[in-house]
Chain A
Amino acid sequence: MTSGTYDTGTYDTGTYVTGTYDMAVVGAGPAGLAAAITAAAAGRAVALVDAGPRPGGQYFRHRAADPGRRPRLDGVTYLPGHRVWQVEPGFVVHALAGTGGTAGTGGAGGADERPVEIRAAMLVLAPGAYDRSLPFPGWDLPGVLTAGAAQALVKGSGVAAGARTVVAGTGPFLLPVATELAATGSTVAGVFEANRPYGFAAALARQPARLAEGARYTAALGRARIPYLMGRAVVAAHGDGAHGDGAVTAVTVARLDDDWHPVGGTERTIECDSVAVGYGFTPQLELPLQLGCATEVAADGNLVVVVDAAQRTSVPGVYAAGEVTGIGGAQLAMVEGELAAHAAHAALGHGAPLASKRVRGLLARRRRLRDFAAALRAAYAVRPGWTSWLRDDTLICRCEEVPYARLAAAVGLGATEPRAVKLLSRAGMGWCQGRVCGYPTAMITAAATGRPPGAAELRSLARRPIAQPIRLGDLAGGADPADPAGFASGELRKRGRV
């Protein structure tokens, strides 16, 4: 296949520079895998660049000891352990390559990372999403995790977050989190769904596969005797700071009105040693924003990449697929990834003609899945009353330890835009660069001003010129000269044969 031809790169002042691929796909989750496999099957030279040690992203996460479940990547130059921190027009994908899944810190960032530039004519961005969090008193206690973290522990490492877990938030993702926690040995004290998604039944009825999936989860919850309660939320977590390790020991669950204000007198305390909480997902927008791809605010309040029918972004040669175009789940992501690859293949020219029947089928599937995703977003939206769970001392920014009172003070000083609130309060200026507190900061600002955040405001919070933490030396281009020959002697080539 073509991959062997294209990884005969060279060193340029310590940076490994690849030959030019037809396509670089960033992200090896459902969308990126579908794109890369499709492009390779069409005969294109494709590099699949991913920070993780194994293909699959968050959805197809599996354990190192479970290679039988890995997707086949015939003809794809697969580059695991490559943290992409910048993409230049043209396209040059700048990554730091760790030692991958075989030896250790894959994607974690370490001194053994080496700079790599992957050159490609076309770019498919499939960076995925991460959990959207809403702060509440005690959400930073050890033992309180995102729902995705609980799932990653189970799927990636076979570990339950605790012995007795409370699952809370909104969205259907809470169901597999609860059932898999139970299957991994945790008692699940309850699933507390903040919404009352009754209207969702109609949309579900039009999706037999999803309906069956929902029925399976409901049955699994029943078998594990896990209570599933709607219109309720974890509004506070409590720890035992005086004794033990200061981790969570209990939560307060309250019934919510339709706007998510707690109903007085309905609070009850539930003992637990772990909490898995998630309020939907936030798309990873660093790379599309770096390239100048147009974005817009979706109905769920997320900033998303605008794509046309062919998954093209506003930047020529850049395609986007999966959660970055709007949260829609793995099935939709795979359809979008395949469509993006077909479109990029056609745009490159001189290739095998498109299988038009296949593409028509994909377009029809995408329409159905997007309709379903829209119904999901409406049923499981975040309602504004959650800000009434906050106390003055509730941290909004976990990194810079900025309490709610300081954001409220910034608004009091006249800040009417999230970016001004950020600059005055330091919320979002720590290690995570506002990835966790960006959405709550925008919502808190909106609650104070009575005006929802616009796309420009959300862009100002989501723009990160450097998508991954990197060493200053790499930024300056003076790469770590340590043992470049070891890398040149075929490590990349070897990985291309996955």
Chain B
Amino acid sequence: MSPASEKGERAIERADFEITFDGRPVGVTAGQTVGAALVAAGIRSWRRTRMTGRPRGLFCGIGVCFDCLITVNDRPGLRACLVEARQGDVVRSDDPHRDGAGP
């Protein structure tokens, strides 16, 4: 088992509720942002850059850098560091080539 999924299982045991990330369950403590819940589950990147496909996740953590863009409940281009996770949120890694991606 990878360290990330071990972390994920521990996080789910402690969690108040769950969201899904690309179909797999992720535990959330109430009040956590989507980005924080992913980091707590050992998931560090959820986007690839447009030109060279570099993996990206949280960087500035406060909504300034737009590195952590993510899709929540079919709404693309949200900043994972700002969006508070809600029970049942369906979170998907962002595909920069899909129409409508971007803030």
Is A108 a contact of B83 with CB atoms below 8 Å? yes
**With A107-B63, A159-B36, A398-B67 as contacts: A152 and B83 at CB distance below 8 Å:** no
Q: How far is the CB of B58 from chain A (nearest CB, A)?
A: 6
Across the interface, A159 reaches (CB within 8 A) one of B40, B45, B60, B86, namely B40
Is A152 a contact of B65 with CB atoms below 8 Å? no
Q: How far is the CB of B102 from chain A (nearest CB, A)?
A: 7
Is B64 a contact of A130 with CB atoms below 8 Å? yes
**B46-69 near A? 1/0 per residue, CB < 8 Å:** 000111101111111111111101
Measured CB to CB, the nearest residue on chain B to A436 is: B65
Is B78 a contact of A401 with CB atoms below 8 Å? no
Is A399 a contact of B62 with CB atoms below 8 Å? no
**A143-155 near B? 1/0 per residue, CB < 8 Å:** 1111011111100
Residues of B within 8 A of A157 (CB): 29, 31-33, 36-37, 40
B15 proximal to A (CB < 8 A): no
Is A246 a contact of B45 with CB atoms below 8 Å? yes
Measured CB to CB, the nearest residue on chain B to A103 is: B86
Residues of A within 8 A of B54 (CB): 140, 246, 401
Across the interface, A148 reaches (CB within 8 A) one of B29, B61, B102, namely B61
Is B62 a contact of A435 with CB atoms below 8 Å? no
A235 proximal to B (CB < 8 A): no
List residues 477-496 of chain A with CB under 8 A from any CB of chain B.
none
Q: How far is the CB of B45 from chain A (nearest CB, A)?
A: 4
On chain A, which size bracket covers the interface? Answer: 35 or more
Is B64 a contact of A106 with CB atoms below 8 Å? no
Query: How many angstroms from the CA of A158 to the CA of B39 in the assembled complex?
Result: 11
Is A149 a contact of B56 with CB atoms below 8 Å? no
Interface centre among A149, A157, A247, A435 (most CB of B within 10 A): A157
Query: How many angstroms from the CA of A457 to the CA of B72 in the assembled complex?
Result: 39
A51 proximal to B (CB < 8 A): yes
Give how many B residues have a beta carbon under 8 Å from the other chain's beta carbons.
Answer: 47
Is B103 a contact of A158 with CB atoms below 8 Å? no
Across the interface, B61 reaches (CB within 8 A) one of A141, A153, A245, A401, namely A153
Across the interface, B56 reaches (CB within 8 A) one of A106, A142, A152, A244, namely A142
List residues 6-39 of chain B with CB under 8 A from any CB of chain A.
29-33, 35-37, 39
Is B82 a contact of A108 with CB atoms below 8 Å? yes
Measured CB to CB, the nearest residue on chain B to A400 is: B51
**With A157-B32, A158-B29, A399-B66 as contacts: A131 and B60 at CB distance below 8 Å:** yes
Is B55 a contact of A142 with CB atoms below 8 Å? yes
Is B62 a contact of A130 with CB atoms below 8 Å? yes
A205 proximal to B (CB < 8 A): no
Measured CB to CB, the nearest residue on chain B to A239 is: B55
Query: How many angstroms from the CA of A152 to the CA of B35 in the assembled complex?
Result: 11
Query: How many angstroms from the CA of A436 to the CA of B39 in the assembled complex?
Result: 22
Is A149 a contact of B83 with CB atoms below 8 Å? no
Query: How many angstroms from the CA of A105 to the CA of B34 in the assembled complex?
Result: 10
Q: How far is the CB of A436 from chain B (nearest CB, A)?
A: 5
Measured CB to CB, the nearest residue on chain A to B33 is: A157
Q: How far is the CB of A330 from chain B (nearest CB, A)?
A: 15
Additional A-B contact list (4), CB under 8 Å, known A145-B59, A245-B45: A105-B84, A108-B78, A149-B58, A153-B61
Chain B residues packing against A (C-beta within 8 Å): 2-4, 29-33, 35-37, 39-40, 43-45, 49-52, 54-67, 69, 72, 75, 77-79, 81-84, 86, 102-103
28 pairs of residues in contact across A and B, judged by CB atoms under 8 Å = A64-B30, A64-B31, A64-B84, A65-B31, A105-B78, A108-B78, A110-B75, A110-B83, A111-B75, A131-B60, A142-B57, A149-B60, A153-B36, A158-B36, A159-B37, A161-B39, A162-B39, A244-B2, A245-B4, A245-B43, A245-B44, A246-B45, A246-B55, A401-B49, A401-B52, A401-B54, A432-B65, A435-B65
